[in-house]
Amino acid sequence: MIADILTGALRSGTSVMLASQGELVSERAGVINLGTEGAMLAGALGGFAVTVWTGNPWLGVLAGGFCGMLIAAIHAFLVLTCGANQLATGLTIMFFAIGLTSFFGREFVSQRIVGFNPVPIPLLSDIPFVGGILFNHDPLTYLSIALVPCLWYALFRKRLGVILRAAGEREEVLFASGINPKLVRYLAVLAGGCLAGVGGVQLSVAFTHSWVENMTQGRGVVAVALVIFASWKPARAMLGAYLFGAAQALQLTVQQMGWPISTFFLFMVPYLLTLAALLVVERRKQSVTPEALGKVLAGDTGG
């Protein structure tokens, strides 16, 4: 049973994990994007549609990433070029994407696809207990796990990461060294949208193998919250996402076991868990918040 929950944690947490890594990149550059929810939805639909048309889930991943990027581009333009309020813009994008995807997604609702399926890694997946949990997943999940250390390395050990983080902390420094901070932020937001889109693809093409209207159910919002919970650290965001996934997997297990707990309470658990996690972490940190982001969260958005 524990193995079931842990396996489920990875399977249903991966979409949130990818989105939260993307959001982390964007927030490190000083832009919070609640439109992540919208980017995930767009990615989920775009990836699903292309998989239906071509039968090739990898093309679906490309398309989903691209759709997520398009949605994030709206955010980047409004926030960075027009100086709009980041939180309000993100929310608007969320509604816009819900409308757009349910409009274009009508014909895909009852479609079925092969998509991504679990590929057990030879030998490793035979390890008792651990093998089943870690080494029996779809290819996207493996890739997403590999992404986290790569992202950490790029953020904290490479020049690229320094530039990105400087955009979120002290943009004057970037100016002084001849780099346009606005451009860095644009790229960060686009990269974030791309990852969120791929997260959406994981949800529709690898996890549920279907498209349903508004299928992300707040996962994008949770991803944004998780980044704050994770103090903007990739590994912790991954952990948080799997915690969310575990809470979702718990629902299935409890239903299967027939325990007398209302399903609606179980549906709430992931969101409550995210809130509780935020509360615990927020109490003992403030200094690690990227400076530009701190201003947004405190409501001091001068534009």
Note the residues at the interface with other proteins (CB under 8 A): 34, 74, 77-78, 82-85, 87-89, 91-93, 95-100, 102-103, 106, 213, 217-218, 221-222, 224-225, 228, 262, 264-265, 267-268, 271-272, 274-275, 278-279, 282-283, 286, 297-300, 303
CB of 218 to other proteins, least distance (A): 5
**Nearest distance, CB of residue 135 and other proteins, angstroms:** 33
Would you call 280 helix, strand, or coil by DSSP? helix
Nearer to other proteins, 95 or 156 (CB): 95
Q: Judged by CB, which is closer to other proteins: 130, or 272? A: 272
Judged by beta carbon, residue 150 or residue 268, the one nearer other proteins is 268
State in angstroms the smallest separation of the CB of 32 from other proteins.
9
Task: Give the residues across from 136 on adjacent strands.
Answer: 120
Joined tokens for residue 218: 């707040």
CB of 222 to other proteins, least distance (A): 7
The nearer residue to other proteins, 95 or 129, going by C-beta atoms, is: 95
Of 46, 41, 45, 94, which is closest to residue 66 (Cα–Cα)?
Answer: 46
The smaller minimum CB distance to other proteins, of residues 7 and 89, is found at: 89
DSSP annotation string for 124-186: GGGSTTHHHHHSEE-HHHHHHHHHHHHHHHHHHHSHHHHHHHHHHH-HHHHHHTT--HHHHHH
CA distance 11 to 7: 6
Task: Report the Cα 266 to chain-centroid distance in Å.
Answer: 22
Both tokens of residue 257? 């076991």
Q: Give the shortest CB-296-to-other proteins separation in angstroms.
A: 9
